[in-house]
Chain A
Amino acid sequence: MAYVDWMISGPKIASCNCAYGCPCEFNARPTHGLCEGLEAHRIEKGHFDDLRLDGLIIAARYRWPGPVHEGGGVAQGIVDERATEAQREALFKILGGQEQEPTTVFNIYGATIEKELDPIFAPIEFECDIEGRTGRLRVPGVMEMAIEPIRNPVTGKPHRAVIRLPEGFEFTEAEVASGRFWGGGDLAFENRECYAALTQVGYGPYGVLR
C-alpha cells in the first residue's frame, strides 16, 4: 500500500513508573503491576507530504492497568500550541496510526488504548541532553518531568547504561536515566526515581528510521 510520505525525527524523552531499566523493554512485566508515564518528542525535522513540521513538539501521557500488551489503556495527546490547523491535522494522522504500517509504534500502542482523552493544545517546554542524560518537560498546569542520571547506590557516581533494540519499534538505542514526573487531571500521577529514557529517533510510514 502506498502511504503519504511523512517523517518526524528528533530527540525524545520518556519516563514511566517502572524501576530503572523498565522490564517492559525486555518483555517482562512492569515493576509495580500497572504502567503509567509520559513522553515528549521534539520534531527537529519533519514533514507530512509537503507540509513542514520542523520545530514542533508532541507529547503524551498514558496509563495501563497492567502490562501494555494486555490493553485497557488510557492516553492523552498533547500538541504544541504553535502548530497550525494543517499541522495539527497531520500530527493527529501520524499519532493516530494513519498512513503507516500496522507495526509502527503508534499502531502498536494504539491497539492497546481503550480510551483516548481529548487532546490538549498547549505550550510545551522541552529540554534534552542525551549525552548528559538530563531532560525536562513542562506543560503548564498539565504535567512536568525531570530526568537526571542514575546514581550508583554505593559510590553515588552516575551510572551509564544504554539499551539497544536493533529491531525495536520505538527506538534503536536509548540512554537510561532516572525520572521524576507528576501531573493532574484525569490522568493524575506522581512518581520519582523511576525509569527514564532519552533517544534520538525518527519515524516514518514503515516504522523507526534506521
Chain B
Amino acid sequence: MAYVDWSIKGPELATCNCDWGCPCQFNARPTHGDCRAAVAMRIDEGHFGDVRLDGLVWAGMFAWPGAIHEGNGQGQPVLDERADERQREAILKILAGEETEPGATVFNVFASVIDTFHEPLFKPIEFDVDMEARTGRFAVPGLVEARGEPITNPVTGKAHRARVALPHGFEYTEAEFASSTTRATGKVPLDWMRGHGHFAMLHLTNTGPVR
C-alpha cells in the first residue's frame, strides 16, 4: 500500500512515572504497575505530503492502567497553536499512526493500545532541550509542565550518564536517559518527581525511524 510521504525530525523529551531506566524500554513491566507519560517533540524539519511542518511542536499526555502493550490507554494530544488547518490535520494523522506501515512507528503501535484519544487541544507549547547536558523542559501553561535533568549518583551526587540504544526501536535508535519531574491537569492528570526521562533526536517516516 502506498502511504502519504511524510517525515518529522527533531528533539524529543519523553517522561514517565517509572523509575530511572524505565523497564518498559527492555520489555519488562512498569515500575509501579501502571504507565503514565508526557512527551513532546519539536519538529525541526518535517513535511506531510506537500505540507511543511518545520518549527512546530507537539505534545501528548498518556496513561495506561498496566503495561502499555496490555492496552486500554488514553491520550491527550496537544498541538502547537501556530499550526494552520492543514498542518494540524497532518500532525494529527501522524500521531494517530495513520499513513504508516503497521508497527513502523511508536505512534502506529501506540494507536492499537489507546482506547480513548481525547479531543486535541491547540495551545502555545514551550519547548527547550539541551540533549548533551540532559536538561530540558516543555510546558503548556495551565495544562502540563515536564522537566528533564541528569540522573544523579546516590553516593557522590554526581550526574550519571546512561544511554540506551534500541537498534530496531520504533521510537528512537539511541536516547540519553534522564530524571523527570512532570505535572499535568486536564483529561490525563500526571504528577511525579524523579521519574524516568529520555532525550532523543527522532527522525520518523511512514516506514519507521531513519537510522
> Considering the chains assembled together, what is the distance between the CA atoms of A195 and B38 in angstroms?
27
A84 at the interface (CB under 8 A from B): no
Q: Are A164 and B167 in contact (CB under 8 A)?
A: no
Residues from chain A with Cβ under 8 Å of B26 in the complex? 19-21, 150, 159, 161, 176, 195
A49–B62 CA distance with the chains assembled, in angstroms: 57
Interface status of A147 (Cβ within 8 A of chain B) = no
How large, as a class, is the contact surface on chain B?
A: 20 to 34
Which B residues, 14 to 50, have Cβ-Cβ distances below 8 Å to chain A? 19-23, 25-29, 31
The answer to whether B154 and A159 have CB atoms under 8 Å apart is: no
Say yes or no: B151 contacts A26, CB within 8 Å.
Answer: yes
Contacts of B162 in A (CB 8 A): 25-26, 163-165
Q: Which residues of A contact B21 (CB under 8 A)?
A: 21-23, 25-26, 28
Binary contact readout A25-58 vs B (1 if CB under 8 angstroms, 0 otherwise): 1111101000000000000000000000000000
Partner of B167, one of A22, A69, A162: A162
Q: Is A93 an interface residue (CB 8 A)?
A: no
The smallest C-beta distance from A73 to any residue of chain B, in angstroms, reads 14
Is residue A151 contacting chain B, with contact meaning CB distance below 8 A?
yes
Establish whether residues B23 and A27, one from each chain, have CB atoms under 8 Å apart when the complex forms.
Answer: no
The residue among B21, B166, B177 with the most chain A CB atoms within 10 A of its own CB is B21
Query: Taking the complex as formed, is A153 at the interface, i.e. its CB lies under 8 A from any CB of chain B?
Result: yes
In angstroms, Cα B153 to Cα A31, docked, is: 18
B160 within 8 A of A: yes
Bound CA–CA A208/B151 (angstroms): 21
B163 within 8 A of A: yes
Does the CB pair A23–B31 fall under 8 Å? yes
Give which listed residue, A23, A163, A167, A195, contacts B164 with CB less than 8 A.
Answer: A163
Contact call B164/A161, Cβ cutoff below 8 A: yes
Q: Which residues of B contact A154 (CB under 8 A)?
A: 69
- Interface of chain A, helix or strand or loop or mixed? loop
Q: How far is the CB of B178 from chain A (nearest CB, A)?
A: 10
Given contacts A69-B154, A153-B69, A162-B164, contact A26 B20 (CB under 8 A): yes
| Contact present for B163 and A21 (CB under 8 Å) | no
Neighbouring B residues of A23 by C-beta, 8 Å: 19-21, 23, 31
Q: Is the CB of A21 within 8 A of B155?
A: no
CB distance from A156 to the nearest CB of B (A): 11
CB contacts (< 8 Å) of B29 on chain A: these are 19
With both chains docked as a complex, state the minimum distance between the C-beta of A196 and any C-beta of chain B, in angstroms. 11
Instruction: Write out the residue numbers on chain B whose beta carbons fall within 8 Å of the beta carbon of A195.
Output: 26
Q: In the bound complex, how far is the Cα of B25 from the Cα of A26, in angstroms?
A: 12
| Binary CB contact string for chain B from 90 to 131 against chain A (1 if under 8 A, 0 otherwise) | 000000000000000000000000000000000000000000
Does B168 make an interface contact (CB < 8 A)?
A: yes
B160–A26 CB distance below 8 A: yes
Residues of chain A with a CB closer than 8 A to B152's CB: 27
**A residues at B contact (CB < 8 Å):** 19-23, 25-29, 31, 67, 69, 150-154, 159-167, 176, 195
A/B interface sample: 14 pairs, CB < 8 A? A20-B23, A20-B26, A21-B21, A26-B160, A27-B160, A28-B20, A28-B31, A31-B23, A153-B67, A159-B26, A160-B167, A161-B164, A167-B161, A176-B26
